[in-house]
């Protein structure tokens, strides 16, 4: 990662922490992944050589920038979905400031409506970091659009295990998928299509 992007990510990290400490309204909090999770996501993009990445839950684009930094090496791009217009506006500005807009397709709409239209078996990697109540309903489309051997990473499997219980049961009983929980930061759930 170049120094400029590393410094910008640090700036966003500090902004997110300070903002979320003083604001209680969930819709205005950034709720960014930690830098360790960001770094790990970036590492995964490199090792899996993912080209077509879908992120669900952009917020102000912090995790998107970590994903995008590695997808450049793979000659790919990140599509990121955010339904809050104000957060998407922040993300757009951050992508421009980081000079990364070329590798990021920011789509401002409800993720459920978007994934419903995506072609089957076309996505290499999905990072799921959105409204956890929707995951069960989205599973049909998420599993359909992922390529064989593709990877889905779900954040908060440990920190919000109660909210993700139904989703976890659903995916771990899906015979087309292998699952694994990793205790990194808030806990990451990995799913790969057999
Ligand atoms: C935890 S935050 C994402 C944080 C971001 N991944 C990061 O680490 O920088 C979740 C985001 O998902 C968005 N979101 C929630 N439900 C959504 C939906 N149905 N469609 C699109 N975006 C949604 C919220 O507005 C919020 O900005």
Q: Which domain holds residue 134?
A: 33-193
Give a yes or no: residue 62 inside a domain: yes
CA nearest ligand 1 atom 13, residue: 57
Work out the number of other CB atoms within 10 angstroms of the CB of residue 98. 21
Q: How many structural domains comprise the chain?
A: 1
CATH number, residue 133: 3.40.50.150
Give a yes or no: residue 23 inside a domain: no
Give a yes or no: residue 10 inside a domain: no
What pTM was estimated for this model as a whole?
0.96
Q: What is the largest CA-CA distance in the chain?
A: 44
Q: Per residue in 70-121, pLDDT tens? A: 999 999 999 999 999 999 999 999 999 999 999 999 999 999 999 999 999 9
Give a yes or no: residue 27 inside a domain: no
Give a yes or no: residue 167 inside a domain: yes
CA nearest ligand 1 atom 11, residue: 57
81 Cβ closer than 6 Å to some ligand 1 atom: yes
Work out the number of other CB atoms within 10 angstroms of the CB of residue 128. 22
- CA-to-CA distance for 46 and 153, rounded, in angstroms? 14
Q: Per residue in 29-67, pLDDT tens? A: 999 999 999 999 999 999 999 999 999 999 999 999 999
């Amino acid at each position: 990662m170049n120094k400029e992007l590393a410094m910008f990510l640090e700036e966003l990290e500090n902004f997110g922490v300070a903002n979320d400490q003083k604001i209680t309204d969930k819709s205005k909090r950034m709720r960014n992944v930690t830098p360790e999770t960001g770094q790990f996501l970036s590492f995964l993009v490199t090792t899996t050589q993912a080209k077509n990445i879908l992120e669900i839950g952009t917020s102000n684009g912090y995790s998107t920038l970590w994903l995008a930094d590695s997808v450049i090496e793979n000659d790919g791009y990140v599509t990121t979905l955010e339904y809050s217009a104000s957060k998407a506006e922040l993300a757009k500005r951050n992508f421009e400031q980081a000079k990364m807009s070329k590798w990021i397709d920011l789509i401002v709409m409800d993720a459920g409506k978007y994934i419903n239209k995506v072609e089957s078996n076309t996505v290499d990697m999905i990072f799921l970091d959105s409204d956890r109540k929707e995951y069960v309903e989205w599973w049909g489309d998420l599993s359909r659009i992922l390529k064989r051997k593709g990877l889905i990473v779900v954040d908060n499997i440990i920190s919000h295990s109660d909210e993700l219980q139904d989703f976890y049961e659903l995916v771990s009983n899906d015979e087309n998928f292998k699952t694994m929980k990793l205790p990194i930061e808030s806990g990451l759930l990995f799913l790969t299509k057999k």
